[in-house]
Structure 1
């Protein structure tokens, strides 16, 4: 790629710092920006939980100083609250299980941030995501990274071709160990900084309490899916997700002595249906709001690999896009467990140089 103007999104972590460094080394004109996503950022991180703290902003600034690039902090807190946090709460209230990282990439980093970057004359937004991005026959090609354990193509699979045309992922061919070693060689203080985990706007990791504080009590019943027996009560379907085993609040074991799992959520009636693990098996997924990173939709049934979680949850499948119904139908050749409406299903074409993302859709139903 010839030299272009690049806006490097710098979270304060090692990945985005090295990504920015590589963009500088490639000869691009790079400006660093840290996104302030919280109206009241914490002063310090708690271990590896959360991000977007004051400490993170300072770490990003120090990295930019080492790289000798301009650095700014942009306030995206209001947009983040509306497009990510509010969406997260609303989805749980409706009995669905959203992925806020996917929504943040779609609505913030490659929509709000990208729009502002382009308006200011930048050609691309550079991030520290682990994914491979190239152009083949004039179309974007999004593929898995070299580091299977860190691959983030799943949370980028909902991006549209025009968003990917202005994206840059310099870490796609590297492993996490290589990135940390490079950070140390470059004198970046974040070389050994712990990765952030869990949901960034729930730094203590207590999702149930976070939702309860915003939605309040919405009492309902816990019901055995096989017998319709009422096993207990709960304070709201937002405290549960399909596949959950712990914290069900059931005071007696199943008749066969096996653990119970959440099988389905019914927000209108407030019912949480539970049952044995074998009833979690899913062989068909229906999706809507499909996106195609290359700009090319599936044409007829396609053999592929389906993924339903950021890490893991993969199975060989046959997928078909029904354009008249705006519906994606995925038949799994091997059953998957814990697949919930609201999650995303990403489709991959196996490739020795990194499985290629064919498309993504929001799961609306399973069977």
Structure 2
């Protein structure tokens, strides 16, 4: 039996149309986009500007507000470090959230060691922030709010439109890590006043190692210095030879990205079957607004590592790909008030437009049977059945 890929929040399969768009720039049109003195270079340059237009049109913004880089982690580092460097005279206070991606949390920890004060908003049991707490946390010396659009583990979607408007009212920059949202929901940045937006192509069926930033051109332009110094590529924001093929793939992938209604029905079917047929399961963030493709489920009294080892035919995850291998429980689940045992029992299932109904049905049956088999051999499960543990 072939394996079934259910880890699309970690990365997605490249769309064949995206690969096809990239191939000419890996084979025939291999010029350097900065070498516009000759035809191959101009072809590469034109291809990059076409990709920039595709992304700008998708977000309903200006072409010169889109900047390419290696992906969301680089974008987050560029923004957080750059805003502190530029706006440090106004203040050194940043607001973020306890459930942010490690790229944000580790960069904030780095900045804290250099005198920046960071406020970490709490979340409730469903992974949701309190907008009033955000309002109350903004101060005169607050220079940036950095809160993701959708959580990579739980799939919980934050009210990014409301966050943007609160920041606009308070004259504070809002950086939105939209890595998990882009390609899954429409984002009209002409209407939503997000100042800075981060994205990665490999989350929406594009190639790995490429992504970008949207930086709004206000009356007074947002100033962010380059993280990677070099030439004047990307209007001086990011030095280095442009990865033409990857950028072309990024533009094509976002151009053809569409929300797919069947993904929600597949996820709901999966959760309904598991909750109905398996005792002692928890769907994290179930009552919150979530991404249609994401389900984060705790199978109580089984370690997720043991369950996944028993399901080699399924590509699953115990949480963020960036945190895999860590011995600590998920920081996202801990922030949601989940105890360590249930956190260590949790598996993330994330679907994509390439996920088939029969794959979901097979995965459900395999998961249910394997949970039953593992629990039958588990002394912890016996303790639960005997009423000795909750």
Structure 2 length normalisation: TM-score?
0.25
More helix as a share of residues: 2
Structure 1 length normalisation: TM-score?
0.27
More strand as a share of residues: 1
